[in-house]
């Protein structure tokens, strides 16, 4: 479906899943405005709860949180599922940083909604639960939640299970024989970076503070840490662009990504990334919440210019057909990428 050519007449003919997909396909500002115009002409009251919920997600993605809240409130009680509660919780979390709103009120409202999202999840393994916990871990909600966790028993249960599991995994990864040794010949014979990065990828913690990130990487070489950063960069950018890279937990590795590009001789990738970083003033926070706030501010301040700058950086990565890659450096410096289990060291 080409949403560049969609009209009110064609939208009306779509089934529910196609309407939802139409909203999911929005990636650029002019498309956003066009589809919103069509929906408003159609009348929001004529949309199903499923479509309204997806529309609210679009509003959230474009930092129009009051509109997202208004649309979510239009969803009937019987259509308010776990995802609806999560999206509403996300909306109130973003509203909590609005200087015109009361932080405590919005944060507690967000936590109430996330609690209900977990309550309405269809199974203990529902991804919605993971989304809720990740949101609480972001920063501002964490402080409010940890001040009175018993007010939110389901959040309390899954949040502290997650924290304990993360801590245990880090401890286990660093102290037990989880991985085979990676020898110089393994590095020399590697056909892909993934062949040698698993111990680093599954040990290094990018989900908490920058200090936690550095501490968890101490058992590896600097080159291994840089390689992990580059891998995370390409995973995120190829999936959702630089916006996703910065907005997600992976943004914590941005500095190591740049240093890795420079050290590994990936000059064109380094130049592209530096150019984008210059747009942010040459640096960006290691704190996920602060990165999210910066992205929101730049969206509001620069609008189309901001998205155009991101698109240019994204397109370079998507379209790059040169021969720069991390494997060239790895093969020339295999001793920097070996891995020996701690219990096997003399």
- In DSSP notation, 44-66 reads GGGS-HHHHHHHHHHHHHTT-HH
Domain assignment present for residue 2? The answer is no
Residues in CB range of 222: below 8 A, 6 or more apart = none
Q: Which of 221, 281, 220, 288 is nearest to 253 (CA)?
A: 288
Question: Is residue 193 located within the same domain as residue 98?
Answer: no
Judge whether residue 107 has pLDDT over 60. yes
Supply the angle between the helices 304-319 and 222-247 in degrees, to the nearest 10: 140
Kindly state the percentage of the chain with pLDDT values over 90: 47
pLDDT at res. 37? 75
Residues 45 and 75 in one domain: yes
Hey, CA dihedral for 127, 129, 135, 137, is it positive or negative?
negative
**Averaged over 320-330, what is the pLDDT?**
87
Q: What is the pLDDT of residue 177?
A: 42
Give 346's pLDDT tier (boundaries 50, 70, 90). Answer: very low
Determine the longest span between alpha carbons in the chain, in angstroms: 73
Average pLDDT, the chain: 85
Is the distance from CB of 305 to CB of 299 less than 8 angstroms? no
- Residue percentage of the chain with pLDDT more than 70: 87
Lowest-pLDDT choice from 37-46, 182-191, 248-257: 37-46
More confident residue, 300 or 129: 129
* Residue whose pair of structure tokens reads 């203990």 in the numeric block: 124
Same domain, 132 and 41: yes
Among 148, 84, 151, residue whose Cα is nearest residue 120: 84
Give the domain-ending residue among 119, 134, 166: 166
pLDDT at 241 exceeding the cut of 60: yes
Q: Same domain for 26 and 62?
A: yes
Tell me how many domains the chain contains: 2
**What CA–CA distance (Å, rounded) separates 278 from 275?**
5
**Whether residue 211 sits in one domain with residue 113:** no
Mean pLDDT, residues 280-308: 89
Mean pLDDT calculated for residue range 174-191:
74
d(CA 213, CA 342): 19
* Residue indicated by tokens 């790895």: 330
Residue 3 included in any domain: no
For range 136-165, the mean pLDDT: 86
Q: Which residues, including other chains, have CB under 8 Å from residue 33's CB and lie 6 or more apart?
A: none
Encoded tokens for 279? 């747009």
Contact 337, 257 (CB under 8 A): no
pLDDT above 50: residue 28: no
Give 325's pLDDT tier (boundaries 50, 70, 90).
confident
Domain endpoint, select from 139, 166, 193? 166
Domain that holds residue 35: 8-166
């Amino acid at each position: 479906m080409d949403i560049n050519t969609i009209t009110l007449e064609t939208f009306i003919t779509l089934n529910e899943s196609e309407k939802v997909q139409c909203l999911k396909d929005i990636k650029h500002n002019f498309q956003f405005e066009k589809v919103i115009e069509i929906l408003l002409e159609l009348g929001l009251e004529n949309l199903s709860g499923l479509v309204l919920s997806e529309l609210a997600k679009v509003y959230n993605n474009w930092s129009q949180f009051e509109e997202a809240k208004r649309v979510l409130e239009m969803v009937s009680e019987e259509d308010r599922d776990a995802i609806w509660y999560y999206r509403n919780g996300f909306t109130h979390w973003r509203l909590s940083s609005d200087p015109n709103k009361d932080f405590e009120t919005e944060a507690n409202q967000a936590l109430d909604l996330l609690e209900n999202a977990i309550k309405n999840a269809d199974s203990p393994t529902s991804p919605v639960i993971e989304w809720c916990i990740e949101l609480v871990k972001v920063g501002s909600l964490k402080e409010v939640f940890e001040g009175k966790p018993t007010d939110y028993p389901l959040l309390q249960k899954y949040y502290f299970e997650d924290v304990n599991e993360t801590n245990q995994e880090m401890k286990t990864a660093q102290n037990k024989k989880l991985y085979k040794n990676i020898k110089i010949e393994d590095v020399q014979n590697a056909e892909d970076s993934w062949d040698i990065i698993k111990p680093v990828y599954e040990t290094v913690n990018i989900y908490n503070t920058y200090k936690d990130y550095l501490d968890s990487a101490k058992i590896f070489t600097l080159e291994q840490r840089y390689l992990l950063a580059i891998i995370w960069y390409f995973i995120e950018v190829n999936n959702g662009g630089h916006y996703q890279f910065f907005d997600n937990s992976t943004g914590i590795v941005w500095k190591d990504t740049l240093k890795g590009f420079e050290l590994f001789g990936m000059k064109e990738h380094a130049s592209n990334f530096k150019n984008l970083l210059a747009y942010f003033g040459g640096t960006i926070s290691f704190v996920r919440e602060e990165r999210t706030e910066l992205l929101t501010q730049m969206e509001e301040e620069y609008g189309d210019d901001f998205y155009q700058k991101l698109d240019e950086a994204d397109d370079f990565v998507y379209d790059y057909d040169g021969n720069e890659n991390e494997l060239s450096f790895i093969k020339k410096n295999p001793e920097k990428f070996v891995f020996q289990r701690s219990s096997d060291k003399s």
